[in-house]
Amino acid sequence: MKREKSWIVMIGEYSQLAFVLPVATVVGYGMGYLLDRALGTHFLYIVFLLIGIAAGFMEIIRKVTKDSE
């Protein structure tokens, strides 16, 4: 039997989602930027930026589908 969450907990969990995509995007860009500087390339920031965006969307979708069940 699943317990219902209080409205305060729900607000906290869904307000967290507002930060997931931007943080994942910035982390992905930062990793790519640092790797570009370390390796002397000029394309890894784009690859890791896209990976960060995808990871952010996957986390949002995972959370929403988990809560809708």
Tokens representing 42 are 């000029």
For residue 3, being part of any structural domain is answered with no
- Name the domain count of the chain: 1
* Mean pLDDT per 10-residue interval, the chain, length 69 residues: 77 89 96 97 96 96 85
For residue 7, being part of any structural domain is answered with no
Task: List the domain range (segments joined by +) for residue 28.
Answer: 19-64
Q: How far apart are CA 25 and CA 60, in angstroms?
A: 13
Residue whose C-alpha is closest to residue 52's, from 13, 18, 21, 16: 21
Q: How far apart are CA 33 and CA 37, in angstroms?
A: 6
pLDDT tens figures, 38-47 = 999 999 999 9
For residue 33, being part of any structural domain is answered with yes
pTM: 0.82
For residue 1, being part of any structural domain is answered with no
C-alpha to C-alpha distances, 69 to 3, 26, 61, 63, nearest whole angstrom: 13, 30, 12, 10
**Type of residue at 17:** L
For residue 14, being part of any structural domain is answered with no
